Structure 1
Amino acid sequence: MAVLERPVPAKFWLPQLEPFDGLKNLQDHLNTFKTTLGLQQSPDEIMCRSFPTTLRWAGREWFTRLPTSSIDNFEQLSSAFLCHFVGGQRPKRPADHLLTVKQGERETLRSYVKRFTQETLEVDDADDKVQLTTFKAALKSKEFVISLAKNPPRKMAEMLLKAQKYMNARTHWQPS
């Protein structure tokens, strides 16, 4: 049966996924989509018809330029998607990249936390110990470093929570 001729099942629900915009991890997007629709045991044709709803900007533009009736199954669509966008994906960086992320002299802790967190998303295989070590090594606030030494976090999530509490306490103590 042709992709566009397959009726949508009555109990089908469209997954609410973060749209792929051409910049995010395409393999992760594809895997998340397949897993989510796999839970509904969606036929191949429905997967093909649903996939463009998870695309925006460059992703949607690519899809709309596909020749009509050029896709027969989801494997074909997946392959075309990967082939088109794989060149635009930045390769993951090694864990030692985090050593280059340092808090600027006048940078707020809030800004540094946000930037460091973004950078960890670009790194392949950065475990908690690497993240903790590199994060602490680049801190400029001596007060915060001293507070961490008293009760050191063991996980990066703990570190981020401590940073949030420290930032909140500093906000409340400063005069308006």
Structure 2
Amino acid sequence: MEGANQLLIEFHEQLEMVRDEIRREMAEKMAHLQRENDMLRSQVQLAVSIASKSRLNRRSDTMTAATRLDICFSPAATDPPATVTDPVSLTLEPSIPHYRSRTYGEPGPSSFMQYARRNEPSVSFLEPLTERFGRPVTTSASTLPERRPEVNFIPSPTRPEVIHMVGPTSSIPIPIHPAVADQMSMLMEQVRHMQDKINGLLGVPPPLERASRTCYEDSPFDASIIRVQLPNKFDVPIMEPFDGTTDPGEHVARYKQVMSTVSVRPGQREACMCRGFGITLIGPDLTWFVNLLNGSVGSFAELVNLFNRQFASSKVLERRTSDLYQVTQRHGESLRDYLHRFNVRKVLIPKCDVSTVIEAFRKGLYEDSELYRELTKYPCRSFEDVQTKALAFIRLEEDLRSRLGHVEHEWGHIIR
């Protein structure tokens, strides 16, 4: 025995060494992959920033050229003199002093624009620029909306598919190269394979399931039930717990009656009944209740329906009045015992037909008994009348039995 224990201890020590070695190798591989991943991320971010900067520069140059064209042909920039016949021949240098010394009656901005519209062929050289850059606008390049650079682009000749991971401090997804993703998936598969081997070793217990930090928030009820504040002195009355072997409908009925004695406000009653129902369950029934999906129950009616559906196999079949025909007077059984057994079976039937009850009781009696003959000759309209007649015959039967016993006792004394 001691040798077996020693071998078991050595086996566990070797197993722990193997586990430590596997953990160390996995940590090294994960660190190596993490470094490669960080390097790829930095390279991708650098390439993306360079490409974005070049695109922004080209767009800025384009908008600057368009803005200059707009300034050149803006009515506020220059006013041609009265003797000018072609606006294309104007220059910016003499426009400023002439604009400041313009007298009344000379052509101003409005007349300049009218002249430009009348002489459209003179500005036909701007059409290629308009087709390429669009019509110039007065918005400067510095106030244009900033264009978000592409983050899904990876500078690669084949441009492979990109897998994105959201970083903890950035809202922009960081791309991960497919090669790194494949290596990580292969590594995780190896980890699962090694864990299966460890779990398959003889004598190794399965790993214990760890509870999450938010396990205290688990509840099958939704927010409409959880957010209701219960009374300060709310206590569920003590009742027999349900273990799955009795009728679930009977347990729910008893729970309703017990909870009706608790004084709570109308808006708190349903929440109290929902949150107190789990206290009345034990064993597998409590396990079923705890494993319900979080937020899946929104009312006490939904909880009762789920409860009845889960434990439908434990429900007692509904008894009918015709079942009373199975109760008959046994051989040598007294009339009192037969009446007691019949009443016990009758109480289990919620809705009884009076005529069927009377007929079943009469059919169950001895055919040669006086009560059977009495009920056959003079039928009763209610079962209370039947019981009254039965009690009269019970007193007669017990009196005769007692007298017979007394006579037998006296004859036995004489014989001795």
Structure 2 length as normaliser, TM-score?
0.32
Q: Which moved more, 1:122-131 or 1:68-77?
A: 68-77
* 1:3/1:46 contact within 8 Å kept: no
Q: Which residue of 1 aligns with 2:286?
A: 64
Mapped pair 1:6 → 2:230: yes
Q: Residues of 2 paired with 1:147 and 1:8: CA distance?
A: 64
Query: 1:46-85 to 2 correspondence within 5 Å?
Result: 46-51=272-277, 60-65=282-287, 66-67=289-290, 73-85=299-311
Query: 1:98-113 to 2 correspondence within 5 Å?
Result: 98-113=324-339
Query: 1:144-159 to 2 correspondence within 5 Å?
Result: 144-148=371-375, 152-159=379-386
Distance apart, 1:19 and its partner CA: 7.7
Number of equivalenced pairs: 169
Q: Which residue of 1 aligns with 2:246?
A: 23
* 2:252/2:304 contact within 8 Å kept: yes
Structure 1 residues 130-158: Cα deviation after superposition (integer angstroms, max 9, x where no partner): 01001111112712234545764322244
Query: Which amino acid in structure 1 is aligned with residue 226 of structure 2?
Result: A
Q: Which moved more, 1:111-120 or 1:142-151?
A: 142-151
* 2:249/2:315 contact within 8 Å kept: no
Query: Which amino acid in structure 1 is aligned with residue 286 of structure 2?
Result: T
Q: Residues of 2 paired with 1:157 and 1:33: CA distance?
A: 33
* 2:336/2:394 contact within 8 Å kept: yes
Query: Which amino acid in structure 1 is aligned with residue 343 of structure 2?
Result: T
Mapped pair 1:160 → 2:387: yes
SS in 1 for 2:246: coil
Pairwise CA RMSD: 4.2
* 2:354/2:382 contact within 8 Å kept: yes
* 1:97/1:123 contact within 8 Å kept: no
* Structure 2, unaligned runs of 5 or more: 1-224, 406-416
Mapped pair 1:135 → 2:361: yes
* Structure 1, unaligned runs of 5 or more: none
* 2:241/2:282 contact within 8 Å kept: no
SS in 1 for 2:290: coil
* 1:93/1:123 contact within 8 Å kept: yes
Q: Residues of 1 paired with 2:291 and 2:231: CA distance?
A: 18
Structure 1 residues 72-128: Cα deviation after superposition (integer angstroms, max 9, x where no partner): 542233123211222222432444333232211222223322332343355575301
Query: Which amino acid in structure 1 is aligned with residue 249 of structure 2?
Result: Q
* 2:242/2:285 contact within 8 Å kept: no
* 1:4/1:49 contact within 8 Å kept: no
Distance 1:68 1:96, change over 3 A: closer
Q: Between the two proteins, what is the percent identity of the paired residues?
A: 21
* 1:144/1:166 contact within 8 Å kept: yes
Q: Which moved more, 1:85-94 or 1:127-136?
A: 85-94
Higher normalized contact order (CA 8 Å, seq sep 6+, divided by chain length): 1
Q: Residues of 2 paired with 1:3 and 1:157: CA distance?
A: 54
Distance 1:119 1:151, change over 3 A: same
